[in-house]
Amino acid sequence: MSRARPFTFYEFFAGGGMARLGLGDGWTCLFANDFDPVKAQVYRANFSDAPRHFRQGDVWALDAADLPATADLAWASSPCQDFSLAGGRAGLKGGRSSAFFGFWRLVEALNGEGRAPRTIVVENVSGLFTSHGGADFTALCAALAGEGYRFGALEIDAARFLPQSRPRAFVIAVKDDPPAELVGESSFQTRLVREAQARLPAALASRWIWWRLDEPPRRNADLASLLDPGAPWHEARRTEALLALMSPLHRRRVEALRTSGARAVGSLFRRMRVEDGVRVQRAEVRFDGLAGCLRTPRGGSSRQTLLVIEDGAVRTRLISAREGARLMGLPEGYALPHGATHGLHVIGDGVAVPVVRWLAERLLEPHLSTSPTVLAAE
């Protein structure tokens, strides 16, 4: 069903505005917020209307009066460190001072004023489903139910759309019952989703929605197609040092590709492994056409390395910020900050643009277009 007006949204923890880009031109941003000064600078550089609606600062410093009108959607890509397998796993029990609860108190206040968003999306790492044995996911569902929402979750890997392995949790909550065509089986109802739902107590399970999301077209790009040909390569000795960190299995794979004469592009991370009871650093490379999950470059092992085999030679270099932007589905004209570290900091915390677009087109927009509350207002 068509609408006479755009959909409206608030974007919390907005970063560089990747959720906004994914939602697209059919959506109007009423308010956006982020605490990080580098991300705020990037947001302002890419959206000319930022002075009207973007607020830099702590989400806890906001109140409901800062949020205009009534939005169709509140999107919250809250900081993932507490839920990430690579983080401290503090989870929601980190306290109600956590960033998520800073956002949630605003939803509670809006609900008290009768202008809560009709739809909420909470996006996070897949560790959200299992953090503290599922207790944190249950706490999130309890918060949603307490404000009158029904909810369900999907696990969507950006690899379905882009050449990057990036599984993420998407919890979609709604005030109104969804249309029947949006409920049913979906490949995005993964094992983690089903196990998380099965752990819910009966009162919360009764509010669960099994969201159906259509299958996207088959991805037609691989990592090699997104490379920047002008990026600088490592010196030979640095490449040799990385090869020396490989296990015998990974080294044999590289050598087999080198001697075959074929061109191969792989992504490489340095990781700590335990071998014979001893912790050792290993360089691990994949040649499946995908980059590993982009991360914020907080440490040396978090910077992703590209390994290219061509004409019997092996070369390596760090992934560039522009390549990272392509792996997130950002347009070529997207303004990045100066320096790869700042650029990858913004990108590594973002949400893949085509994933948001698919979710909006196939689930959020159909639901909001048939919502009794929205139709009554039009």
Sketch out the chain's domains with CATH numbers.
7-218+348-377 (3.40.50.150), 232-319 (no CATH)
For residue 370, name the pLDDT band (cuts at 50, 70, 90).
confident
Residue 339, pLDDT > 80, answer: yes
Average pLDDT over residues 52-61: 95
DSSP letter, residue 263: -
Residue 192, pLDDT > 70, answer: yes
Give the integer Cα–Cα distance in Å for 346 and 337.
9
For residue 100, the model assigns a pLDDT of 86
pLDDT in tens, 217-232: 999 999 999 999 888 9
Q: Cβ(335)–Cβ(45) under 8 Å?
A: yes
Task: Give the global pTM.
Answer: 0.92
For residue 298, the model assigns a pLDDT of 63
The string of DSSP letters for 67-128 reads S-S--SEEEE----TTT-TTS----GGG-TTSHHHHHHHHHHHHHHTT---SEEEEEEEGGG
Q: What is the Cα Rg of the chain in Å?
A: 22
Give residue for tokens 């995005």: 188
pLDDT in tens, 76-108: 998 765 554 334 445 555 444 378 888 999 999
**Mean pLDDT rounded to a whole number for the chain:** 91
pLDDT in tens, 12-21: 999 999 999 9
For residue 1, name the pLDDT band (cuts at 50, 70, 90).
very low
Give the integer Cα–Cα distance in Å for 133 and 128.
10
Residue 354, pLDDT > 60, answer: yes
Residue 323, pLDDT > 50, answer: yes
Residue 49, pLDDT > 90, answer: yes
Alpha-carbon distances, residue 197 vs 42, 100, 152, 336 (angstroms): 37, 20, 8, 39
For residue 372, the model assigns a pLDDT of 56
| β-pair partners for 171 | 122, 153
